[in-house]
Structures are given as structure tokens and as C-alpha cells.
């Protein structure tokens, strides 16, 4: 593969990875807001992520196209079955990484920040190792 083609592939993969991270963060936030407040609106997500209403609307439109958010554009946001599944997986991964960081002595605030950066980039095998080591450390 030529250098330009290889570079284009890497950049494409990076963009796709970032899009998946965004989807995971948004469905997780939608699920949390619905659980806490009974509803989630675009304005709520804009406030949570400190981004514009337009940015959230674009992400939500993509989540609808991907079948993660129900299609009613005029009602509060609601996850589809696939969206709830992704939100649950994201929440479990988030909790595993956070608990691991706390178990190895990372402060609460730093663990909260670092979890957001790590959770999308670890394999299932690594997550399982985090979980097992956390169990051992907490005994």
C-alpha cells in the first residue's frame, strides 16, 4: 500500500473511531438523563457536553440514522433497543475502567477524567483483566 493510501486509511479509521466514541457518549448520557429525570432533550445534552444545540442536533440525527435513537424529532429523545444496549455496554465499560483506576490509587477526580479518555480505547480482553485485577485489589 502506498504511503498516501496508508495515511488515508489511518485517518479514516481515526474519524470512524471518534464517531463511535461520540455515539457511545451520547447514548450513555441519554440513558442517564432518562433514568434521572424521566426525559432527555437536545438542550439537556448541549448543556451536559457544553456544545451548541446545532452540534447536538447533528449528532442526534446521526444516531437516528444508525437506529440508536427513535425517529420522532419533536419529542424528548428516546433510545431504541439497540441504543439501550450500546448505552448499557458503555456504562459497564465506564464503570470497569473507573473502578480499576480507583483500585490502583488514582484520585476520584483524576479517575473520572481519565476514564473518559480510556474507556473507548480498551479491548474486551483488557477490560476483563481490569475487572479481575480490581476484584483482587479490593479484597
CA distance 120 to 102: 18
Asked if residue 66 lies in contact with residue 23, where contact means CB atoms within 8 angstroms, the answer is yes
Q: Which residues contact 129 (CB under 8 A, 6 or more apart)?
A: none
Domains and CATH numbers, the chain: 3-137 (1.10.10.10)
Look at the pTM and tell me if it is higher than 0.85. no
- Residues 26-85: tens digit of each pLDDT: 999 999 999 999 999 999 999 999 999 999 999 999 999 999 999 988 899 999 999 999
Give 84: exposed, middle or buried? Use CB within 10 Å, 0-12, 13-18, 19+. Answer: middle
Amino acid at each position: 500500500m502506498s504511503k498516501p493510501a496508508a495515511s488515508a486509511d489511518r485517518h479514516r479509521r481515526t474519524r470512524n473511531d471518534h464517531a463511535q466514541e461520540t455515539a457511545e457518549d451520547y447514548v450513555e448520557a441519554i440513558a442517564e438523563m432518562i433514568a434521572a429525570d424521566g426525559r432527555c432533550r437536545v438542550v439537556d445534552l448541549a448543556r451536559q457536553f457544553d456544545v451548541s444545540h446545532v452540534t447536538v442536533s447533528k449528532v442526534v440525527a446521526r444516531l437516528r440514522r444508525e437506529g440508536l435513537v427513535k425517529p420522532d424529532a419533536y419529542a424528548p429523545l428516546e433510545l431504541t433497543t439497540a441504543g439501550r444496549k450500546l448505552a448499557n455496554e458503555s456504562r459497564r465499560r465506564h464503570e470497569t475502567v473507573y473502578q480499576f483506576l480507583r483500585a490502583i490509587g488514582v484520585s476520584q477526580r483524576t479517575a473520572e477524567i481519565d476514564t473518559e479518555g480510556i474507556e473507548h480505547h480498551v479491548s474486551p480482553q483488557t477490560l476483563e483483566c481490569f475487572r479481575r485485577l480490581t476484584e483482587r485489589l479490593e479484597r
